[in-house]
Amino acid sequence: MKILVTGCAGFIGWKTSSMLLEQGVEVVGIDNINDYYDRRLKIWRLSQLRDNNSFEFVEGDIENRGLLGYLFVNHTFDAVINLAARAGVRYSMVNPHIYLNSNADGTLNLLECMRKHRIKKLVLASTSSLYAGQDMPFVETLPVNQPISPYAASKKAAETMAYTYHYLYGFDVSIVRYFTVYGPAGRPDMSPLRFIKWIDQGTPITLYGDGSQSRDFTYIDDIATGTIAALKPLGYEIINLGGGKNPISINRMISGIEKILDKKAIIDEQPFNKSDMLHTWADITKANKLLDWRPQTTFEEGFLETVEWYKNNKSWLDEIEL
């Protein structure tokens, strides 16, 4: 197989590409390596992929229709995994236009290339942020028509466009809604890596709210495994990929990191951001039924692995901007 993975230098894109390569799949990866967070982390991830001869990297943007057209002309893809996206709920309130351009228009560009070259299988990354205001645990059949951030709205637009191409052209679409992904080489704009570094260095943690808010933390390897499993023919399905058990409070995450590092956190409590969700919790019944998937890594195991990775790469992570 040959698969196009967009956003291959991103956290989930890197691990998904890595697992595909381990399975003997050819991967063409595209990423614009933007500076939303420190590019050095993305370059590190890419360096891990470049060691495999079955990986080809193209630096570019899925907003560039000409570049995408060139890729589809010069490669015969069996499927597309679209993990390219502008991430970050809070920053989407600062610069909403780039979120719609990348997350919605970029997805449309891919769908058009797939239509022209008769590629039918798409795995599209989406988000648990769409479930804001719904009853937990979140099930895929809930109406998600009231996104509370431009980020969530742009993801909803991508989902809707993918359905249109399924309806009109018979595309086989798996939409995977991710729940708070963490692990080694994770995003430095998210709390796990930030808090590990700040606690280790004795830097005050910026905590929005009182820490009682909770997340359905999901380890990166489990997320990548579920994403690859979603390549199977499904028609059109929306599938939650999350921890599936009781969500973990931010306070519990902090205490877990303190225990592993044997250091105490200094907390700078700030007002809760209204664009954030108080709690997330995935119903993963559908993922288990359709993909035979359930997470294999416990919260304790995952954070231990994450802290160990941080310690082993501390020499250059100390320079990463958070």
Active site residue: 151, 178, 219, 310, which one?
151
Report the pLDDT value the prediction gives residue 279, as an integer from 0 to 100.
87
Report the pLDDT value the prediction gives residue 317, as an integer from 0 to 100.
93
Closest listed residue to residue 124, CA positions, set 77, 161, 78: 161
> 165 in a domain, yes or no?
yes
% of the chain residues with pLDDT over 70: 100
> 206 in a domain, yes or no?
no
Report the predicted TM-score, pTM, of the whole model to 2 decimal places: 0.95
Closest listed residue to residue 265, CA positions, set 256, 275, 274: 256
* Cα distance between residue 27 and residue 18, in whole Å: 9
Tens-digit pLDDT profile for residues 95-149: 899 999 999 999 999 999 999 999 999 999 999 999 988 999 999 999 999 998 9
> 98 in a domain, yes or no?
yes
Average pLDDT over residues 158-166: 98
Residue with tokens 């086989």: 172
Range of the domain at 231: 2-181+218-244+281-297
- Whichever domain contains 90, its CATH number is 3.40.50.720
Report the pLDDT value the prediction gives residue 91, as an integer from 0 to 100.
78
Reply yes or no on whether 151 is catalytic: yes
- What is the residue-averaged pLDDT of the chain? 95
> 110 in a domain, yes or no?
yes
Report the pLDDT value the prediction gives residue 140, as an integer from 0 to 100.
97
CA distances from residue 227 to 15, 240, 311, 313, 321 in whole angstroms, order as listed: 10, 10, 28, 27, 29
**Binning pLDDT at 50, 70 and 90, where does residue 51 land?**
very high
Q: How many folded domains does the chain comprise? A: 1
The DSSP result for 208-250, as a single string, is: ESSS--EE--EEHHHHHHHHHHTTS--SEEEEEES--SSPEEH
Higher pLDDT, 150 or 321: 150
Report the pLDDT value the prediction gives residue 58, as an integer from 0 to 100.
98
Report the pLDDT value the prediction gives residue 18, as an integer from 0 to 100.
98
* Residue 276 confidence (pLDDT) above 80: no
Burial of 318 (0-12, 13-18, 19+ CB in 10 A): exposed
CA distances from residue 221 to 133, 198, 199, 224 in whole angstroms, order as listed: 29, 24, 25, 5
* Residue 275 confidence (pLDDT) above 80: no
* Residue 40 confidence (pLDDT) above 80: yes
Average pLDDT over residues 208-223: 95
> 309 in a domain, yes or no?
no
Contact 240, 179 (CB under 8 A): yes
